[in-house]
Structure 1
């Protein structure tokens, strides 16, 4: 059994993956966001575990012992979406608190997640400093940028994973996945086998699942919905754009920042189609097979059959991070607002990616315990 401590826990992506895999035991967790804390406690049995709110105020030496430290130190100061202030931003310095835990507790392993931009910011100097400080503690390390879309999740989300082992061997096997940036490992693109109306289309089981609707089951269901950029000049995509903490902000000025859902269904009656940006009392578009609007002298009528665009729902964002529908419902049942549900999903790590890493880690640890590695 590998005992682990989850720092920067968020809604517990590492924990969800570890509980699914088995072979892991949580001894404690740390999270400063009170809404994420609320979600975490709704999702997991945290009884008997040590909880810390602020990682900067922990007595590291007094923490419980563990074999594995995991977490994604705050990434806003490294992200291309932010100002890229790196260590000039206090949030960038939180990575050093993560390193201080490694120094105090000396776990056999660690897994740190961050944005790929960490590799290149300040001409790579920030990342060099991080590697140098961890290397001084005796850890052998490997790192790789992994994309969620390469692990059966229809979301393009590239994240850097840094793995360390307190031994003489580089733990490269833990991040050994096929394909460049793991873009090509796992399942391929969506492949439609049989067409038809929404809900009746059939897709190849070898392809990535299309968007889930609120009433569908877990990842892997087939719904007949399609991703589309939520910005001017939208384009269809096989995978959703990277889910962000502000996924509910709608149209974005940053090209391709958010995805919406394109719903292709039956013809609908539309009233005053030329008044798309004009205030309209009542509905402008009817449901399929409803009668046309009443004819008047001033109104114009038409039919729309190219589909509609809608924003991703919170439950879809959670599923695009690999969480189950029942997990989302547990958190939603606490009364958490949609804005917070979007935020918690956007700040999370994709569970399916962690599952794949955990599987390799268990194999590596088993071989290490047999004396294969020193």
Structure 2
């Protein structure tokens, strides 16, 4: 099968890692953002809630269960080990029993695996208290043990607040480099930062990396916390004007840590009356007044009957302190007491509450609702979510570390090779569908890389083809999370200094037919796109020059990829809304004469009538509305190629990409044409003007045409056998295997006998039998040829001839075929179709 022709997957895994004490995947999220191609060979986690969340988000990661039970000799090879090993034995907020705590001895399970597998590098995370535990002896044992394993070890305390996440969270990261690998002296640590980013605003010190600044007002009644360079005292309520307990602080600057201070607490000026709910997470509910005179908010004390906070002999606990969201958040914890347990309390939209789980996720730089559901879509309680979030490794810091690690370990050429995006040109037939499904099964297509599938609609396909495309699209997106886009050629009217002109573009379509209720994004199926292309160019496609392929396939794909690979979330509206065309008859004639056109005024206006009746603008469209797959990808190769929000696939600055084309082994002559066109496109890079090879002007020069079906020697019979499998037959294309109904039904390249035979068999093959003239009928093609043929006079014979689908001819070729239908026998046509010299391969995907 095709899998034999695909590269060995091990060759593509340029970076692999093993994850221990994985939690909900903080390390994994950070690594994916820095090195999206990195492959996790397995994970280990025993907390049932964290593990369930992990398995829902990382479905393909192998579960090694309890780290103490891992047989290190059965592990696969990997480049890196990551572990956020248990911090409770060393945490300042815990009992700090260190190696006397069974959880502390889990470090030696890491040692056991490192000793057996000896990866190139490891990254460990723990609380800052690890450094000072037992007066530093514990950390000394750790470093000595790792050194004995022949690792050069570095460590650094990193705080995520210095790297764009508004949480005050100090963690020590330990990075080890194996002496068995030459790292050329490059090291990851220390990581430098410029300190807190503080800007002057109206004479005040304002922290820019704050909860509120990071999320603005768009995060579900939540924001963040407070830290800054200094407090801003704006007054004192004591008659004497002095005394710390009388100080009033500005809520626009750094908020002080609230304490009891003789039962009163610090005062923060707030212009609004502030209320607090009885439930720590409630937005409404029974309210208790928190503010007093002049907008001064007092720290909560026993006098507040709603018991949002509690007092202990030592004063307010951290879980009872109230923080301002205009600063840096306190450290999230897996455990904690008081109403602010896990997150702390914040003054948000005039109410005091703790952060919600989704806000905690954001403080850890974890995707929204990452912890909301478990493996089997079970809902995880808020209590367990808080615990899992508090235990997580901050993914922003992980990304910072692995950004540097990438520069140390990864070969740039190997990285670029794997980052080059893949595109599947889907024709709508069995061969391309077989190729696509096997690429998906082999995991050759990657959502994170921006890989996608593209089907270009000509509006001249059989209805069964559209149904087949819809089925394959659903499988591709819902099972494999690879975007599958349907596109259409279209035009729009652009306003220029010389008036309005029609220009070529494309639009996204859904997999539902065009109708009254789906009249903007539905796919067209009655020849409208085909005729718009002809009416725009004013010339019929022919067996000599297939401008239908250029417009509806090549240019449409080129324009689509230019937008998609620029990491855009939408395509802009083109043209202006107008119910009637802004282009007059006089404009059309004038432009025709400008280019030395010789058609009569009436003839050129008639040829442009259809395109002028088409929509005058291309609407703004969001990619997410046309696929059920995730559209957010992370490809650094493409990001580096973006200039002013745009990317090029033509010219010297064009990007590289792989284009998978479904051509069988028995069609390999078509591959020669494709490769020649790409070769000519590269030649054009050094040519100018008329010296350019015209047939390659629209060809991306750095496209790599992949035809795995040829490499795997897949012929027509093997494609038939593939779809005969009962597991696939229910998705099969509901058309005969002879290929006569593939692509545009009555395409000129199918020849006379095939087209006449198709027309004879119209009832049997379930073509459109409505009164509407469509490409399903050979009469439509005869009508189009008459309408758009060009009459030219032969200078040597002083007579007119038609330039139609088949070049110069005295007659309209399709009409002669129609006229012969009544007199010709079907059996004769079957025989002739096998011998017809006009039989040519449809080269739409060429």
Please report the TM-score for the alignment, with normalisation by the length of structure 2. 0.33
CA contact (8 A) 2:156 2:174 kept: yes
* Correspondence for 1:157 among 136, 161, 169: 169
> Given the superposition, is the C-alpha separation of residues 329 and 159 from structure 1 closer, same or farther in structure 2, using an over 3 Å criterion?
same
The C-alpha deviation readout for 1:321-350, integer Å capped at 9, x for no partner, is 001215345559631000001000000011
Alignment of 1:132 with 2:176, yes or no, is no
Aligned-pair distance for 1:173?
A: 3.1
Higher helix share goes to which structure?
2
Partner SS state of residue 353, structure 2: strand
- Which structure would you say has the larger Rg? 2
Aligned-pair distance for 1:58?
A: 1.0
CA contact (8 A) 1:12 1:40 kept: yes
Alignment of 1:57 with 2:73, yes or no, is no
Other-structure match for 1:261: 346
- Whole-angstrom distance in 2 between the partners of 1:15 and 1:323: 10
* Correspondence for 1:340 among 376, 380, 384: 384
After TM superposition, the structure 1 stretch with the greater mean CA deviation from structure 2, 239-248 or 327-336, is 327-336
Other-structure match for 2:312: none
- Whole-angstrom distance in 1 between the partners of 2:340 and 2:170: 22
Alignment of 1:311 with 2:325, yes or no, is no
Q: Which runs of 5+ in 2 are unaligned?
A: 1-13, 227-254, 266-320, 415-846
Alignment of 1:210 with 2:211, yes or no, is yes
Higher relative contact order (CA 8 A, sep 6+): 1
* Correspondence for 2:397 among 347, 350, 353: 353
- Whole-angstrom distance in 2 between the partners of 1:174 and 1:364: 7
- Summarize the alignment of residues 265-284 of structure 1 with structure 2, pairs less than 5 Å apart: 265=349
Alignment of 1:7 with 2:20, yes or no, is yes
Q: Which runs of 5+ in 1 are unaligned?
A: 194-203, 266-306
- Whole-angstrom distance in 2 between the partners of 1:345 and 1:84: 21
After TM superposition, the structure 1 stretch with the greater mean CA deviation from structure 2, 116-125 or 151-160, is 116-125
Other-structure match for 1:173: 187
> Given the superposition, is the C-alpha separation of residues 223 and 115 from structure 1 closer, same or farther in structure 2, using an over 3 Å criterion?
closer
Other-structure match for 2:88: 76
Other-structure match for 2:407: 363
CA contact (8 A) 2:16 2:78 kept: yes
> Given the superposition, is the C-alpha separation of residues 191 and 82 from structure 1 closer, same or farther in structure 2, using an over 3 Å criterion?
farther
> Given the superposition, is the C-alpha separation of residues 109 and 312 from structure 1 closer, same or farther in structure 2, using an over 3 Å criterion?
same
* Correspondence for 2:29 among 9, 13, 16: 16
CA contact (8 A) 1:141 1:170 kept: no
Partner SS state of residue 157, structure 2: strand
Other-structure match for 2:47: 33
- Summarize the alignment of residues 188-267 of structure 1 with structure 2, pairs less than 5 Å apart: 188-189=197-198, 207-211=208-212, 216=218, 226-227=225-226, 232=260, 233=265, 234=321, 236=324, 238-246=327-335, 249-251=338-340, 259-263=344-348, 265=349
* Correspondence for 1:45 among 59, 64, 89: 59
Please report the TM-score for the alignment, with normalisation by the length of structure 1. 0.73
- Whole-angstrom distance in 2 between the partners of 1:239 and 1:63: 41
Aligned-pair distance for 1:225?
A: 5.9
- Whole-angstrom distance in 2 between the partners of 1:166 and 1:368: 21
Partner SS state of residue 358, structure 1: helix
